[in-house]
Structure 1
Amino acid sequence: MTDERGPDAPGPGAQGPGEREPDGRAGWVDGLRFAFGTLSVLRVRVERWDRAAGGRAMLAAPLVGLVLGTTAAGAGALVAWRAGGPLGAVAAVGVLAALTRGLHLDGLADVADGLGSGRPAEDALRIMKQSDIGPFGVLTLVLVLLAQVAALAGQFAVSPLRGALAVLAAAVAARCALTWGCLRSVPAARPGGLGAMVASTVTPAAATLSTAAAALLTATAGAVDGWSSLRLPLAVVAGAGCAWILLRRCVRRFGGITGDVLGAMAETAATGALLVLALAG
């Protein structure tokens, strides 16, 4: 999730220019359109582009993770069944990246460059907005993708079903992280951009309920694989916790969040969830 498109632009899968309406009470349909239009490549028309709809979208973000995760899980399981766990893991990670056009990975690389620069906040934010990727970003991308593929390969080696459930948990955890990144207590690091549009739009109670519902959904899905009904919600919560650690670091370093920070949180949460599942056996 990145904010290079500017404050008034619809997301990667949104159709049309997206109409900005006065801030006010937004319905869940507006939030779902906003969520799927900005967090996926699915062709969705974003009819309302304001902070009210953005807040609803961040609460609905785990549903986007459920849809994208199910798609990637199916692709990974099919490849793992025919060609083995490692290729299944690569397929699942690749499909997830394709379904977001790599926006979260781009955000992760930009945040790594910003944090690694050692520059003051203003200069670090400028580095993050540049289109190129520096050495910190490249190294972080390589390590994170290797960790995700390795963790998933181990899960697919047990069974295609086990691997598919791990993909689902990682995708949901990543979008739960977005919800927590938009808490009322977390400001935007700069005006404009997608980060400023959704910053400070979610209450702690709403974030807790959204994450609890997401964990319950993964527990229900995991029931088909015995102990996965306990492992999956644990991974979702742990992944969101890893993203929270990154969030606190970014707020101290940059003064708030940007779209890049939210993207980095999503990848951190996904990786954390997969590592928990790998360590859980």
Structure 2
Amino acid sequence: MSTRTLDGWRLAVGTLTVFRVAPPQRVDRDTARTAALLAPVAFAPAAVLAAGAAGLLAMVVPGTVAALLAVGLVAWLTRAIHLDGLADTADGLGSGRPAPRALEIMRRGDVGPMGVVTLVVVLGLQVASAAVLLERGWGWLAVALALCAGRGALVIAARRGVPAARPDGLGTVFASSVPLAAGATLWAVLAVPLALGAWLAGASWWLGPLAAAVGAALAWYLVRAATRRLGGITGDVLGAAVEVATTGVLIVLAAG
């Protein structure tokens, strides 16, 4: 494994999960690009742990209870950083303030009403969708694959042409680091395991590619809105894109 790949892997695991890894030797756009492309695989152990535990629990309790456990475990395994980014992004975009003021709102540690409502709605949709999947055979695997696929939103937020909204922070490292072709290829690849997961969960296989398309489209729309309102992406926008994409994938898979 090359130094760049190893650094990208360490950045992905260290940023996306609570698992301890050695820090990368370099953190630049090359490292960020590698981390974004490896994100779905880097998150796989956490996804299997959360969804697998929920799948076992679903054998003895209602699916909603098991789904709550899955969502809670994911929050713990990620330090809730994506949820924090979602809340901050909702507060910033929903404030209606000019970009500098909106960015200042996002930088604060508190959560406003827009952030609270967004968290409630998104987490509710995730729990409801996961509950449906966990009541099916192999549904836990579909949940795990959806969680991994949602991390593919990083390549959409970090695609070429999307600037950083601030001169510092995580968004600066990731901004414009992923070529469009590489990002599109990653989502095309993600559609394959999602198709398998949908089929194993008793749904039509084509729901997998549809889920990938919906998840990618939602992340793209969020990043577009953030770019137009804020002038680019921030670390919060990266996290928000992950949560939005994950929710979209889960909803489509559950619809089957």
Q: Do both proteins adopt the same fold according to a TM-score greater than 0.5, normalized to the shorter chain?
A: yes
**TM-score normalised by the chain length of structure 1:** 0.85
Please, which runs of 5 or more residues in structure 2 have no aligned partner?
Answer: none
Q: Deviations over 1:182-226 (max 9, x none)?
A: 011100000111111111100011111222222223334555445
Contact 2:32/2:177 (<8 A) preserved: yes
Contact 1:112/1:136 (<8 A) preserved: yes
Contact 1:81/1:160 (<8 A) preserved: no
* Counterpart residue type for residue 137 of structure 1: G
Q: Deviations over 1:245-277 (max 9, x none)?
A: 111111000000000001111110111111212
Residues 65 and 229 (structure 1 numbering): CA distance in 2 closer, same or farther, change over 3 Å?
farther
Q: Deviations over 1:225-249 (max 9, x none)?
A: 4545432332123112111111111
Q: How many residues align?
A: 254
Q: Does 1:196 align with 2:178?
A: no
Q: Does 1:125 align with 2:103?
A: yes
Residue 12 (structure 2) aligns with = 35
Q: Does 1:104 align with 2:82?
A: yes
Residue 65 (structure 1) aligns with = 43
Select the residue among 165, 172, 195 that pairs with 2:141: 165
Query: Secondary structure, in 3 states, of the residue corresponding to 1:112?
Result: helix
Identity of aligned residues (%): 49
Matches within 5 A, 1:138-149: 138-149=116-127
Query: Secondary structure, in 3 states, of the residue corresponding to 1:81?
Result: coil
Pairwise CA RMSD: 1.7
Contact 1:169/1:232 (<8 A) preserved: no
Contact 2:161/2:176 (<8 A) preserved: yes
Select the residue among 72, 77, 93 that pairs with 1:115: 93
Residue 181 (structure 2) aligns with = 205
* Counterpart residue type for residue 28 of structure 1: T
**TM-score normalised by the chain length of structure 2:** 0.93
Provide the C-alpha distance between the structure 1 equivalents of 2:225 and 2:211, rounded to a whole number of angstroms. 22
31-40 or 64-73, which deviates more: 64-73
Provide the C-alpha distance between the structure 2 equivalents of 1:219 and 1:276, rounded to a whole number of angstroms. 11
Provide the C-alpha distance between the structure 2 equivalents of 1:135 and 1:248, rounded to a whole number of angstroms. 23
Q: Deviations over 1:11-58 (max 9, x none)?
A: xxxxxxxxxxxxxx9632221111111111111112222222111101
- Note the C-alpha offset of 1:167: 1.5
Residue 77 (structure 1) aligns with = 55
Provide the C-alpha distance between the structure 2 equivalents of 1:114 and 1:267, rounded to a whole number of angstroms. 16
Provide the C-alpha distance between the structure 1 equivalents of 2:190 and 2:13, rounded to a whole number of angstroms. 16
122-131 or 171-180, which deviates more: 171-180
Residue 177 (structure 1) aligns with = 153
Contact 1:219/1:229 (<8 A) preserved: yes
* Counterpart residue type for residue 214 of structure 1: L
